[in-house]
Structure 1
Amino acid sequence: MVDVAAIQLVSMPDVDANFAQVKALMEQSKPGQLVVLPECFAFFGGSDKAQLELAQQPDNRILERLQDIAKSYQCWLVTGTLPVLSDSRQRFRAASFCLDSNGDVRGRYDKIHLFDVSVDDSTGSYLESRYTEPGDTVTVVESPFGRIGMAVCYDIRFPGLFQAMEQIDVLVLPSAFTAKTGQAHWHALLQARSIELQCYVVGANQGGVHANGRETFGHSSIYSPWGEKISSLEQGVGFISGTINTQKLSRIRRAMPVGEHKKFRSYFEQSS
């Protein structure tokens, strides 16, 4: 058995302050654990253009600082998302990295589905694609926790992405779900993905009111492959954890072999 964890933040438009909170919460981690940070963990609550300006700073060192954290705490770390400049340098990619306990990059996923929607909240409308370039590659990482499927926030609404991953053991989902959409759909979507994929789901969310007035839902949660909620944190800053039971995972898949019954080809089969 191995442990997974999620960190929940109410991130500010202040990189150093957000890193200080992450380090304080990492004191609760265990060596060998898989820890997931929320979307936009390092800078949130400012303008979308400010994210682009952060990506354009050649010395922001966000990834390097995260690699140091992974090494210091001897944890695998899913970095939430970082703004990484696209080739055009006029937009960035919302990139999530999976780091091992040596700080080495084991996988990178660039958010594919961008949040261009209207929401009945204080923000009203969201146009993520204005400054963000979508990714185009499905990412699965081989690890001591099994096969890790990587996704970000709005991606959770698109089950085709997860079916394309073939069989995964853990789905990691850094997020900044709005309070309105989170109340309606967050738990239902996490549970649905855990059941249909027969895997553990670790959803790390932002959880509070941010400097620009944006409200995020929180409720960072870990779900089992049977759709059970193992751990959850409603609002505010905190750390939750749970255990991956590989015997339970195997037992569920033997009793209900959904993967064998699936009639559709995977992304990896089509690409080979």
Structure 2
Amino acid sequence: MANLVACQLVSSPDVSVNLKQVEDFIAQQNAGDLVVLPECFACFGAGDAALLSITEELDEGPIQCALSAMAAKYKVWLVAGTIPLSTIKSGKYTASCLVFDDAGRRVDEYQKIHLFDVEVEDGTRNYLESKYTQAGEKVVVVDSPFGKIGVAVCYDVRFAGMFVAMGDIDVLVLPSAFTRTTGKAHWEPLLKARAIEKQCYLVAANQGGVHANGRETYGHSCVISPWGETLSEIATGTGTAKAKFEPSEISRIRTNMPVQQHNQFRSYLV
């Protein structure tokens, strides 16, 4: 039986070091597992502008080649956090989450839609993700051996309408770099709410510590059941949270409590 795996990193600005750690984690998993990496896994802790220097074209570049090779070598489905990909706008990139199958083929790309332009009471205080990031516009659901996988990134989790637009999904993946301050307040309740309302597994892979530029991320990467139970979690630092994927559990919960059949607002689905 396949596992759902959330990898937690404390990524540095050094791409090669981060990719080595990613491969170390993937090598420990079983063939057929679904492995999710955190947001900005390849480069973090040097400011958003630093990501411009590692921006790649879609389906080209060393980061994507490495990810494809890892997925194929270890025969896992890989949700590759986010990496910066080129846009037509000069000086901007998309925060793109690429999904690779167990043969190393890219099967889809999700571009982060909701950008983190906020003030937080921490050492960074002002976050302006839109300065360098071009927001995406398309909701992405991927067909896979795990059923339908809905893809979202970090700040997206606050916008319930996005998950309504996904329709029925079996697994929700959420690569993140949630701040320590906002994570302490909102991470767990938001994740559990999404798993419960969608009656699906949720795999949340977060950054988990203090980074090179002093930015603090919350960690607590986890796998949550369709009933809203935390099946596995890692608090801070690096490591993995892992749980069995049991489609029968999804069916049981949806049969006993057919929320979508009872939903009086289905006509609003995008």
Q: Judge same fold: TM > 0.5, yes or no.
A: yes
Structure-2 separation of matches of 1:162 and 1:207: 25
Contact 1:112/1:135 (8 A) holds in 2: yes
Deviation at 1:57, TM superposition (A): 8.6
Superposition pairs of residues 62-141 of structure 1, within 5 angstroms: 62-141=63-142
Deviation at 1:2, TM superposition (A): 2.6
Instruction: Name the counterpart of 2:261.
Output: 260
Structure-1 separation of matches of 2:245 and 2:120: 35
Q: Does 1:17 align with 2:17?
A: yes
Superposition pairs of residues 1-272 of structure 1, within 5 angstroms: 1-55=1-55, 60-265=61-266, 270=270
SS at match of 1:79: strand
The alignment's TM-score, normalised by the length of structure 2, stands at 0.96
SS at match of 1:227: coil
The amino acid that maps onto 1:169 is: D
For residues 64-94 of structure 1, the C-alpha deviation after alignment (integer angstroms, 9 at most, x for no partner) is 1100000011000000001001112320000
The amino acid that maps onto 1:210 is: H
Structure-2 separation of matches of 1:193 and 1:243: 19
Distance 1:106 1:266, change over 3 A: farther
% identical aligned pairs = 52
Question: Which blocks of at least 5 consecutive residues in structure 1 are unaligned?
Answer: none
The amino acid that maps onto 1:161 is: M
Runs of 4+ residues deviating >3 angstroms: 56-60
User: What is the RMSD of the two structures over their aligned residues, measured on CA atoms?
Assistant: 1.5
The alignment's TM-score, normalised by the length of structure 1, stands at 0.96
* Pairs aligned (count): 269
The amino acid that maps onto 1:98 is: V
Structure-2 separation of matches of 1:265 and 1:113: 23
Structure-1 separation of matches of 2:64 and 2:22: 14
SS at match of 2:191: helix
Structure-2 separation of matches of 1:219 and 1:63: 26
Structure-1 separation of matches of 2:226 and 2:57: 41
Question: Which blocks of at least 5 consecutive residues in structure 2 are unaligned?
Answer: none
Contact 1:163/1:266 (8 A) holds in 2: no
Contact 2:99/2:107 (8 A) holds in 1: yes
